[in-house]
């Protein structure tokens, strides 16, 4: 007889007079169970409104089918965009997702003990810092982890990133080819590999060409970009080319320039990084470096699921090249040269 409340596989088994293990196999379409039996079980399950208990199933399989995603910087448009794509891909592969959010000013060390309580089969940590101590703790715990768009040089964890250093060089080459002479960089958060590598690629290339680069501090936000551009344009020798650590910083910089009456794409050029949807809006037409999000997600999941299935993950860093998307925020004085910038994707 069916019990009151939630319908269980035991209820189905008792109603049909068969073993509970047979019901479980029939519901998972195990071909070792006769077709007629599978059809009876599945029909009764639909009739009684049966839904599988994922937690009970995880006890028997020793696998939760849960992937934990740890993120900070959720106020940046780039990471909600990544989260949507990442979650969709995991669902298509049959995995469920638990999202954990942490303050962008902190490491994930304080949050991970809570994350581990949920017995996730693997973790993806995006836009957050992982200490070497916590990386070792995860290894001892047997929980595979992949860092997304961050890497920690002193940790033994694996990571998948855009080639941020190469992206910085791509920006420098494009601005050099298009005739600029006074350069600036509006930084992101200081303790991140993304900011460090983008700045290093940009400044090293420009310094090798004989140009100095002015630097303004920032933290990957609209407000920081707005304030930094205001400072840059208020000086006597204002830059004619500004590379921003990410797109939302660049959008803030564009708005600041407009407020000061400076024409973007004519008097000053602005380039961002990420290619968030807002970058293509007609109000901004932001030239930017597009992160290869689809390839980064595919590579991250390949590494993580492979580790869950028993492959040795170790310390594996993968850098995937981005591409320059040309819009209208850069002045092309030398049109022929500008059009030959390597790695460019026109849009």
C-alpha 275/C-alpha 247 separation (Å) is: 7
**Count of residues in the chain:** 347
pLDDT at residue 335 is higher than 60: no
Concatenated DSSP letters of 169-200 = HHHHHHHHHTT---EEEE---TT-HHHHHHHH
Residue 59 lies in a domain: no
Residue 108: name the closest of 90, 86, 124, 87 by CA.
Answer: 124
Domain assignment present for 203: yes
On whether the CB atoms of residues 320 and 163 are closer than 8 A, the answer is: yes
24/78 same-domain check? no
Percent of the chain predicted with pLDDT > 90: 48
Q: Note whether residue 1 is domain-resident.
A: no
Quick one: 96 and 197 in the same domain?
no
In this structure, the dihedral spanned by the alpha carbons of residues 291, 150, 126 and 133, taken in order and rounded to 10 degrees, is 170
Asked if the structure places residue 202 within a domain, the reply is yes
| Pair (240, 117) in one structural domain | no
What DSSP designation does 105 have?
T
Burial 224-235 (b: 16+ CB within 10 A, else e): bbbbbbbebbee
Q: Per residue in 100-122, is it b (16+ CB within 10 Å) or e — as a string?
A: bebebeebbbebbeebeeebbbb
Judge if 262 and 176 occupy the same domain. yes
Using DSSP, state whether 128 is helix, strand or coil. coil
Full domain range(s) for residue 101? 66-162+293-321
Round to the nearest angstrom and report the end-to-end CA distance of the chain: 65
Is 226 within a domain?
A: yes
Quote the strand ranges of the chain, DSSP E.
Answer: 66-71, 96-101, 122-126, 145-148, 158-162, 183-186, 213-216, 241-244, 269-274, 287-290, 317-320, 323-326, 344-346
Write the CATH number for 71. 3.40.50.2300
**Average pLDDT of the segment spanning 93-99:** 89
Per-residue pLDDT tens for 250-303?
999 999 999 999 999 999 999 999 999 999 999 999 999 999 999 999 999 999
Of 77-91, 152-166, 328-342, the one with minimum mean pLDDT is: 328-342
Do both 265 and 176 map to the same domain? yes
How many independent structural domains does the chain possess? 3
3-class SS letters over 5-42: CCCCHHHHHHHHCCCHHHHHHHHCCCCCCCHHHHHHHH
Average pLDDT score over residue span 179-207: 95
Please check whether residues 123 and 45 belong to one and the same domain: no
Query: Within 10 Å of residue 275's Cβ, how many Cβ atoms?
Result: 26
pLDDT band for 234, please (50, 70, 90 cuts): very high
What is the pLDDT confidence band of residue 90, given thresholds at 50, 70 and 90?
very high
Together in a domain, 258 and 336? yes
**Comparison of pLDDT for 280 and 109, the residue scoring more:** 280
Question: 92-101, 182-191, 194-203, 256-265: which range is least confident on average?
Answer: 92-101
């Amino acid at each position: 007889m069916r019990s009151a409340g939630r319908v269980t596989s035991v209820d189905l088994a008792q109603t049909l007079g068969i073993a509970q293990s047979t019901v479980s196999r029939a519901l998972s379409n195990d071909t070792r169970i006769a077709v007629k039996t599978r059809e009876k079980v599945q029909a009764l399950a639909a009739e009684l409104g049966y839904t599988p208990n994922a937690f009970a199933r995880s006890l028997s399989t020793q696998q939760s089918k849960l992937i934990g995603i740890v993120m900070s910087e959720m106020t940046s448009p780039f990471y909600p965009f990544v989260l949507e794509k990442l979650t969709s891909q995991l669902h298509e592969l049959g995995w469920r997702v638990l999202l954990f959010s942490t303050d962008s000013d902190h490491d994930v060390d304080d949050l991970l003990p809570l994350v581990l309580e949920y017995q996730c089969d693997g973790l993806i940590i995006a836009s957050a810092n992982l200490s070497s101590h916590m990386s070792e703790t995860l290894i001892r715990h047997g929980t595979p982890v992949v860092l997304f768009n961050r890497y920690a040089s002193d940790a033994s964890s694996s990571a998948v990133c855009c080639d941020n250093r190469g992206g910085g060089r791509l920006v420098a080459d494009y601005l050099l080819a298009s005739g600029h002479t006074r350069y600036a960089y509006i930084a992101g958060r200081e303790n991140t590999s993304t900011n460090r590598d983008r700045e290093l690629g940009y400044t090293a290339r420009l310094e090798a060409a004989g140009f100095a680069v002015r630097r303004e501090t920032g933290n990957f936000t609209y407000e920081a970009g707005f304030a930094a551009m205001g400072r840059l344009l208020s000086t006597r020798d204002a830059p004619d080319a500004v590379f921003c650590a990410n797109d939302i910083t660049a959008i803030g910089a564009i708005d600041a320039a407009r407020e000061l009456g400076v024409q973007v794409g004519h008097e000053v050029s602005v380039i961002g990084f990420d290619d968030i949807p807002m970058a293509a809006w007609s109000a901004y037409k932001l030239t930017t470096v597009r992160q290869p999000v689809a390839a980064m997600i595919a590579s991250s999941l390949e590494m993580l699921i492979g580790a869950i299935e028993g492959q040795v993950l170790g310390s594996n860093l993968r850098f995937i090249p981005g591409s320059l998307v040309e819009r209208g925020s850069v002045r092309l004085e030398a049109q022929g040269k500008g059009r030959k910038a390597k790695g460019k994707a026109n849009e």
